[in-house]
Chain A
């Protein structure tokens, strides 16, 4: 258990899993806030402003937790993965530097105005700030997914003196898996956020189906679910076909295929046993696996046995994480379809089983995202940079006791901090969104200074 490589991997997996929850929520939420504020400016309907303020409080909490857990990531490459940093610094470093310069500063620079500045700068400039934060989250996704994709499908480089040197920046940034991964992840972020918004809307509708703010957010969220969930299934399929082309071992593990065969079955459930080199208790549909992966009933599918044992990812894990993701994705699409049906029946705001379904699906996006990332990251093993550097060669020479200690510290601190933060978020969600904005006080947050009050001297005067 005190193998330093395993400890360092657990620490990285733990910290990045905690981290990714927050950006995947804030990417979607920033765009949602952008839409809400645009609708408010267009219609001047205070219901949109109330919703904006309701979700802004939640955004502030989630964004803060994303920032502090993200800074940890930017240093952990060096603390725990020094040889990896030396090998990839010239390639991945600039992508991350671009992320900092084009995204992090943009988000942080305008976040203060977005959170606290409505009364100071006025609605138009405030909307600009919201827009900049939303754009920043998407820029961030662009660069970090480019960097991750290069680790999955490295192109555009040569190896010189034991480190990767770039030959074509275009080929590095737009490496083969990047477009698919970017689309899949950004859609996942939007879908995850829509499911959270839908669940919160459903929660308030279950209490009071006349709640107008709840109706608006529930309806918007269900449109997103109905449109994005099916699109995401198509995008995921295309991403999978790209993976089959560049990382066939990963797909073999995901599918639980050990033997290379023509007309391979689709294994619905089973227990891939790495030692026995077979998937036990398999429940399968003949030939469907080949059909899905090659779009041909008799297509040839490579199995794990075609790869040397030391080059195989752990099929037991990725087989199941992949199924969790896909299963949840299908449920999301079902929710979207159900909402369309209810809308057609004019019962979107009164259909209680739909509201309960949406409520239960609230956290499903986060679980699906984590399961998806577990699939692609564990499926990339034993490589940290696919085909170029093994994970076992990438670790820093740190004393195992130091890693064990830091891992324990991370588990304790993250559990406390993010546990409490999540509790605050849930509490904020539980408030009635209709009262997030009181037209008289014209305040962005409770206790803020009303701009129109002439008795209080204004800052800067």
Chain B
């Protein structure tokens, strides 16, 4: 079968070789790549390679009106878009000194927590698939769809809701909607024991995830890790509680932590967070009927809206960690500068590179999915 001119190339005797892990690979999350140097199965060196999803959002936002950007921002993170809308809207509100009505704040919390539930279910699905447990993947995606149905009903969009605008939210809730939210939450909660049995307590998963991609709390703090990945090392830090926004200081919820800092701990933290999010949405569902009033503050004509000059830095706890927007206005109809600090820009680049070294090739996917890396946030 060899061509006639074939000659075996002589290589220096070495067991080292390089491998492009991605950008098109089932073990990689999104369009992203890792260039790894291997010795046998063991990773000697890893280099993250991004840019496959770069769409130039920050430049685009400088060329569009303040209100037009609402349609752009959710696209920066596909699995968890709602915090993006909120973080941008909060920045514009702070620059304009807009006072958001109380009812809008409660609805926003419901949207954010539903988005977190959907994002975590999606992550469980993807993570389970890396260990070959495709049933959990189908379950995760199917149960997430129920949350997307709710989004479709109250925002009009399944994935990108484009529902938060500076000043409040766009529409009032449909009649009977809170009842349907309760039913969906009850259903998802009733499914969790099944998830535990099939995935979280499954030895196939536990043995693959324990002691993989371990990071200590000191390392996590030095590397700028936030969100569930930081909480998996034992530090109970959550922007919702420690730098509160909206009405999170009026809600009751726990901040789950784990101590071991490995892939298993990170996934378990998310599993507990899912339950806390359900608890928060239930509090909102209970309180919302008694909170009356408008759902957004009056804003100027959005097509001729000059936001006062100034700068602000807003922070939100997204499902992946600390999400921040630095927004600068020069008093014009368009933002002068918008800087998006996606939580994954830390753990999808430097942290992933460091944790991959020394692990085996089959554990790279395990590490990446347990970190919940979101490449579009890195590329922007």
Does A associate with B in a complex? Answer: no
The residues of B with any CB-CB pair to A shorter than 8 Å are: none
The residues of A with any CB-CB pair to B shorter than 8 Å are: none
